A and B are shown apart, each in its own frame.
Chain A
Amino acid sequence: MSVSRIGAIGAIALSGALALSACASENPAPAASASSGGTSGASAADCFSGDLKAEGSTAQKNAIDEAIKAYQTACANANIDYQPTGSGAGIKQFIAKQVDFAGSDSALKTVPKDGKVEATDAKNACGSDAWNLPMVTGPIAIAYNVKGVDKLVLNAEVAAKIFDGKITTWNDPAIAALNKGVTLPATPIKVFFRSDESGTTENFTKYLHAAAPSAWTYDPAKKWTGQGEGKEKSAGVATATKGQDGGITYVELSYAQQNQLPMAQIDNGSGPVELTPEAAGKTIATAKQTGTGNDLALKIDYATKEAGAYPIVLVTYEIVCSKYADAETGKKVKSFLKSFSSDAVQKSLTSLGYAPLPTEVATKVQSAVNAIS
């Protein structure tokens, strides 16, 4: 296909576009007013005008949607789009320079996987170091649907055996031992897993592997390695669990809440812990920085035994270039992430089922954002 052909096609397409846009309405302002805004994270002076493209993790979709709304409410000329297609897709498109920054549930890998080192590729794409900036943390719920059971306690060992198909009925002695006083039915357990490659699966299996290494022997991965029945995306597993007596799945907190699914309490060794943003925050507080400088890749201690800490969490990052080839893009990313990492916006995310970043991490993130150019 020659260049002139593309040009000709382009010309045809453009004329069509012009004809159509002529009849488009002249109302650039959003027709519906923002209902739950009020967290204007950006001052008018900071606003950029134009488009900003991002893509990645589904786990942070609701958070970033909220942050975008806050930003766009303050900045009428800014258009920010986030495609919730998955962490791997986000990184892939970031490396292919299709998006300005990526959202991912795990930091860029520094060891070769499938013959590629993500961090190196990202660095090459940016022409500068790529940074992992933790922006949101989200608890992963073990959501279940068993008739007559509205309180359930699990620990890593039992959860691993359930998700690996070793425990197959709800009245299994191992479950009963953790749930004294609860009448468990003999319903068979139906495990639902994510059929797409997912950061949630990776973080959940990281937890199982770290906290119950003898029961969960598989390496943590985006692709599910246990047993059960696969459904597409978070909405798929949540819906399937809701429609199946005896169903159990792992899913981000917000999806469990949307579907009104009960969530298991996790006994990390110091007693059962209910899933709350605060309890998840305690686990996040154990995180250690593994990146250097402004690269804030974190390592979470999933095997934490701290009292009151809910151990199954994921940290989702924004992956950015430290120095954008196009200075204008750098300004846009910086301006938006400044708003996203601001205390006001971060606080508003708690109501959406996300846990706040620990203060010292949040401070580091804010200074890293300031260093983007």
Chain B
Amino acid sequence: MSALKTDQRVPEDENMTGDSPTSPPPSNRSGNEALREMSNPHRGRAIKDLIARIAMWVSFFVAMVPLAWILWTVVSKGIHLLLSATWWTGNQRNINSSDVGGGARHAIEGTLMMAGVTALIAVPIGILTAVYLVEYGRGGLARAISFMVDILSGVPSIVAALFIYAVWVTTFGLDRSGFAAALALVLLMIPVIVRSTEEMLKLVPNELREAAYALGVPKWVTIVKIVLRTAFSGIVTGVLLGLARIMGETAPLLILAPYTKNFQHDLFNGNFPTLPMMINQDRGDFALASAAARMWGTALTLILLVLLLNIIGRVIAHFGSVKK
């Protein structure tokens, strides 16, 4: 019992004194359930607390096992290719599945370019839509937009790709290209950005807006300089989550952006190299050690790229945040 008592103390990190399970005041506003609990003997509460504590620790470690396993698989099987300079400078020209190594620069550049173009289109639309929903939208149009964003977030990547194929190739008669794939990715990225930006804008206290209006600041200046600025770090995080999501999307690329093993910087003509398609290229032959190593190496490169973006985002969020 005494062990339990020490256990249920609040850790040091909150600057409060430990709780003692004695004399719960009858007027606990925030929890009817807690009230019911508290009429029980103390012992049951302490045990429950202990069980919860253990359950949290166990859950954490159980959840981390597969996730650590995945990272370990990718790193241990792919890292050796990334250590050669060729990987970062070369391409896959004349590297067949049975050949070892080669470079991934063409695909790294391709993925970054495609992500960049996608973001250029999706981020302004997404943020402005969120601004409309939070700052302007009342009534029918806002509800309709919110509804549509919900629908858009429900569009599976494969359906988005088929839609763009129907428009781009079947209707307009244009060639499949990196840009066509970027358009499909835009459809997937917009709802992520709208929803995350929306959440962040809602967290901006109304007092800030009201103070600005009271001082005669025009609404749009209030939004740009105060609301968006306050929510900046959150918005950046949302954009990066969206980017991470689309950089690894494979289905639209399969349908819209055929892979090339050569350097290619033209998004509008010809095939386009990307990391997911490079993985896909080697996946068919992963029984061969050479192809398997390249596949894991490419996967690791893709993860590193996402990680890098995350770090950049954190830095931007840190220095751009109003708290500094």
- Chains A and B bind each other: yes
Check if B96 is an interface residue, CB within 8 A of chain A: yes
Question: Which B residues touch A350, using CB under 8 A?
Answer: none
Which residues on B sit within 8 Å (CB–CB) of A37? 94
- Known contacts A32-B95, A83-B259; decide if A17 and B86 are in contact (CB<8 Å): no
Enumerate 12 A-B pairs (CB-CB under 8 Å) in ascending A order.
A12-B121, A14-B268, A16-B116, A25-B105, A27-B89, A30-B102, A31-B90, A35-B99, A72-B94, A79-B93, A81-B261, A255-B287
In the complex, which residues of chain A have a beta carbon less than 8 angstroms from the beta carbon of B121? 9, 12
Q: Contacting chain B: which of A54-62, A311-319, A359-367?
A: A54-62
CB of B152 closer than 8 Å to a CB of A:
no
Contacting residues, chain B, for A30 (C-beta < 8 A): 90-91, 93-95, 102
Q: Is A238 in contact with B258, judged by CB distance below 8 angstroms?
A: no
Q: Contacting A13 at CB < 8 Å: which of B179, B258, B286? A: B179
Which residues of A are in contact with B by a Cβ distance under 8 Å?
Answer: 1, 9-10, 12-14, 16-17, 20-21, 24-25, 27-28, 30-32, 34-37, 51, 53, 55, 58, 61-62, 65-66, 68-69, 72-73, 79, 81, 83-85, 93, 96, 98, 233-235, 238-239, 242, 255, 258-259
Are A81 and B89 closer than 8 Å at their CB atoms?
no
Given A10-B268, A16-B116, A98-B175, 6 additional A-B pairs, CB 8 A:
A31-B91, A34-B99, A51-B270, A51-B271, A96-B170, A98-B176
Beta-carbon contact of B284 and A69 below 8 Å: no
- Report the minimum CB–CB distance from B317 to chain A (whole Å): 23
A79 B262 Cβ-Cβ under 8 A: yes
Instruction: Let me know if B5 is at the binding interface, CB within 8 A.
Output: no
B113 within 8 A of A: yes
Given contacts A65-B96, A69-B96, A98-B169, contact A233 B284 (CB under 8 A): yes
Residue of B nearest to A9 (CB): B121
Residues B287 and A13 in contact, CB atoms below 8 Å apart: no
In the complex, whether B314 has a CB less than 8 A from a CB of chain A is no
B260 at the interface (CB under 8 A from A): yes
Closest to A233 in B: B284
Residues of A within 8 A of B254 (CB): 85
Cα distance, A55 to B259, chains bound together (Å):
10
A93 to B256, CA, bound (A): 11
Report the Cα distance A31→B97, complex, angstroms.
Answer: 16
Cα–Cα distance between A12 and B182 once the two chains are bound (Å): 13
Measured between beta carbons, the chain B residues less than 8 angstroms from A21 are 109, 265
Q: Which of B99, B266, B268 has the most CB of A within 10 A?
A: B99
CB of B287 within 8 A of CB of A65, answer no
User: Would you call B288 an interface residue if the criterion is a C-beta within 8 Å of the partner chain's C-beta atoms?
Assistant: yes
Given the interface contacts A20-B113, A20-B116, does A235 sit within 8 Å of B286 by beta carbon? yes
Residue of B112, B270, B284, B287 near A84 (CB, 8 A) is: B284
B265 touches A17 (CB 8 A): yes
Closest A residue, CB atoms, query B85:
A31
Question: Is B101 at the interface (CB under 8 A from chain A)?
Answer: yes
A368 to chain B, nearest CB (A): 26
